[in-house]
Amino acid sequence: MSKDYAERRAAILRNLDGVHYEVDTKLKVGSLWLDRPPLNVISYRGRSQIAAVMEAFGEDTDVRVVVIRGKNGVYTSGGDVKAFPQIERDGMSHLAWNIAAPERCPKPVICVLEKYARVWVSSSQWHVIFALPPKIRF
């Protein structure tokens, strides 16, 4: 019995969970949108989808830069930690790998932070730019 790994990989990008993407071939920009209102919480499935999209952007010659931003003026409030107990036993081992997907992308990555943003940087070597809106109040 053979396994269809290509089908398994393709299944990750079916029924996107709070994530969508587009490529502007004229501008050479890959855009990744977090869209799970109201605070764009990222589900466990969404994290694996983000990792798959980032990998595809990294291989796409039509993408020279990646922009990650949230819909509705909110970047993200972070991951859906309430759902962690429902994740299969070995599933959490993939969490760090998926979170570090922007770090592995060979293209420059710009994260546009608006309103709420929970950002976790996994390494001092990260080549990701965090862009804040011009009118920020601390």
10-residue block means of pLDDT along the chain (138 residues)?
A: 75 92 97 94 92 96 95 85 80 82 92 69 50 51
Provide the pLDDT for residue 131.
Answer: 57
What pLDDT is stored for residue 57 in this prediction? 97
CATH topology for 5-131?
2-enoyl-CoA Hydratase; Chain A, domain 1 (3.90.226)
- Whether the model clears a pTM of 0.85, i.e. scores above it, the answer is no
Are 45 and 16 in contact by the 8 Å Cβ rule? The answer is no
The rounded distance, in Å, linking the Cα atoms of 7 and 19 is: 20
**Cα 4 to chain center, whole Å?**
25
- Residue 20 is predicted with a pLDDT of 93
Q: Is the backbone peptide bond immediately before 133 cis, with ω within 30 degrees of 0?
A: no
Return the domain boundaries, the chain.
5-131
Q: What pLDDT sits at residue 124?
A: 43
